[in-house]
Structure 1
Amino acid sequence: MDFHGIDLNLLAAFNALMAERNVTRAAARVGVSQPAMSAALSRLRKLTGDPLFLRSAQGLLPTPRARDLAEPIGNALRHIESALVQRPTFVPRDAALTFNLGLSDYPAFVLLPALQNALEKQAPGVSLSVSAFSSRDSAVDLLDAGTIDAAIGVPPTQSDSRIFTRTVLQDEFVTIVRRDHPSARRGMDLEAFLASPHLLVSPEGDRYGLVDEALAKLGKRRRLALTLPQMFAAPAVVARTHLIGTVMKRVALASPARRQLVLFAPPVPLASVRFDLIWHRRNDGHSGQQWLRALVVELAAALESAL
């Protein structure tokens, strides 16, 4: 392939299309018209000999070739930008910008209040825009698209060199019942655990969770009476019903219904749950995001020591 005469604006167009998955939004991102972006995509296809992006109901889906090109092209553009533009040092108290953060329910409830409080004190001109996600791999999609700067959630199912992770929070499971439940007096052994109907928290809507996997190894099954996607609703439901729930410890301790609950160690072995700070390689060197990530790590460490 002869690279002489290649318009480097095509690389910026490709980067925008990869981030936006939409021709119109990609055009706005780089400040050109929609027809100009369509023409750039046509030239990119001719240059690479690949369609690069295929239309679907969810927008433009990148082909395997486009995914292979995404990281080297993104890195090349960042190197060019770094060479041409002197980035100012990030000063939290003087900064005026918005960080886009992806949060699953747990870190939103447990960590977000402390994070917002710290921003108000240390960086009053900085604001947060939070995007929710439930599927663990949705965070990677949001990072790839440039929708968020970082995420906090359960680790993605697959590792990838373009995605960086660091564990910031861990929690253990507890089994909860209301205070006048028969098991609250007798104790929570396996027999008592299986005697009552159960509540299952399943953000993705599955009716088979970690508890069911552990019971299956013992040749046992529980009876599910309720499946719900919101983990922080579970303690309030358990406090007013005959259901048994198994939730993360901080969820139970932070619930307004805490006084109406009794907590037990689950009668089946359950591994602790890990929550990672997740970010994209392209954001790794951004001084402002480096500061935000360090702040998240510091606040999470304080929460861990308090549990």
Structure 2
Amino acid sequence: MKDVFRSMDLNLLRVFAALMAEGNVTRAADRLALSQSAVSNALGRLRRTLGDVLFEKVPFGVRPTTRARELWSVLEPHFDAIRKAITPETFEPVRYSGSLTAAMSDYTVERVMPRLATYLTEHAPGMRLDLVQYSISNLPTMFDRDGVDFAIGAYLNDTSQTSGIRTHELWPIHSSCLMRHDHPLAKGRLTLQRFLAARHIDIRLPGMNMPVYDSLLAAHGLRRNLVLTLNHYTQALAVLAQSDCIGVVPTSLLDLSPYSERLVSREPPIAMPVRPLGIIWHQRRDSDPANQWLRDVVVSLFSNKGSSDR
């Protein structure tokens, strides 16, 4: 049997699709930005290739034959998929109905989601956002295996060097040493010896072998008295306000905490470098319309480069 597809000019399928949609040679020619004679010639070639008249003349245009209707019922879904892949339709958030998965820590959720949820209610009411726990150590796994569309969180400056990872900074994260107002280290000189010997708490998110600050101390050949690691940032200030523990944590935790007035902030002897907090995604999602739109929304709502911590 002759392999028709191998020798067929696939441009003829565009003419076939236009004729099926318009039912008129002139309108099909306008749709394709071709002359009427070019469409007629293409239809003649298509008829010879497929061995069927495909369209019959009627008073107001052309009518598909049984063979043409059967062929189009098979081709139409694939044709539309190819067309949309090559020329994506303009994304309309208000008409979108679907879900995306984002990774965030509780620190980020508190600062991003109230405003973002309000925005989505107005501009993309059919969009569902599913949140999972964020961890910089698990970024490749989250994107490759866990179906995460994007993440918002603090990251290291070399994160973008990871294969395929893209980042856009939103605001800088400054850290300081927090403790209750009447803590023995709240006044006087905070020496390195007193600092390291104090009872420390920190946050360790999934996938982390140790808190980031301990890695920093280890690079200086130092070790602190870490007595408690938590898995959520919002728990930290409650513990600090009601115990003898101290913690090197994001200073902006004070902004939204009911415990902020009971705490004091001091610069630690070994400073935690400023880290960017931003939106992170894999390059595979660069052109996904819903993902791209939501990333742009996040950037427009929360980008604040060079400003103080939020």
User: Shared fold (TM-score greater than 0.5)?
Assistant: yes
Evaluate the alpha carbon distance shift between residue 209 and residue 288 of structure 1 in structure 2; reply closer, same or farther with a 3 A threshold: closer
Measure the CA separation in 2 of the matches of 1:130 and 1:218: 36
Give the AA of the match of 2:289.
S
AA aligned to 1:297 is V
Is 2:96–2:124's contact at 8 Å kept on the other side of the alignment? Answer: yes
1:288 and 1:261, CA in 2 relative to 1: closer, same or farther beyond 3 A? same
CA RMSD of aligned residues (A): 3.3
Residue-by-residue CA offset, 1:56-93 (whole Å, 9 max, x unaligned): xxxxxxxxxxxxxxxxxxxxx9xx73566764322223
How far apart are the structure 1 equivalents of 2:185 and 2:90? Answer: 58
TM-score with structure 1 setting the length: 0.64
Question: SS at 2:258's partner residue?
Answer: coil
Which of residues 288, 291, 296 is equivalent to 1:289?
Answer: 291
1:240 maps onto 2:247 in alignment: no
Shift of 1:185: 3.1
Q: Separation in 1 of the partners of 2:242 and 2:83?
A: 58
| Aligned counterparts of 1:146 and 1:227: Cα–Cα separation in 2 | 25
CA contact (8 A) 1:205 1:228 kept: no
Cα pair 2:137 2:207 within 8 Å, conserved = no
Mapped partners of 1:213, 1:84: distance in 2: 45
Structure 1 position 153, deviation (Å)? 2.9
Residue identity in the other structure for 1:281 = Q
The residue that corresponds to 2:144 in the other structure is: 144
- Identical amino acids, percent of aligned pairs: 30
Shift of 1:279: 2.0
> Which residue of structure 2 aligns with residue 111 of structure 1?
112
Alpha-carbon distance in 1 for matches of 2:169, 2:142: 19
Quick one: structure 1 residues 88 and 205, their matched pair in 2 at CA, closer, same or farther if it must change by over 3 Å? closer
| Map of 2:278 onto structure 1 | 276
Structure-2 change in CA distance of 1:214 and 1:150 (3 Å) = closer
Unaligned runs of 5+ in 2: 7-77
Q: Secondary structure at the match of 1:143?
A: helix
**1:32 equivalent in structure 2:** none
Q: Which AA in structure 2 matches 1:138? A: N
Deviations 1:84-130 (A, max 9, x none): 67643222233333222222333223222221122123222322111
Q: How many Å separate the matches in 2 of 1:265 and 1:238?
A: 16
Amino acid in structure 2 at the alignment position of 1:118: Y
Instruction: Give the match for residue 231 of structure 2.
Output: 229
Q: TM-score, normalised by structure 2?
A: 0.63
Q: In the alignment, which residue of structure 2 is the partner of 1:253?
A: 255
- How many residue pairs get aligned? The number is 231
Rg larger in 1 or in 2? Answer: 2
| Alignment equivalent of 1:173, drawn from 155, 172, 175 | 175
User: Is the Cα–Cα contact under 8 Å of residues 155 and 275 in structure 2 kept in the other structure?
Assistant: no
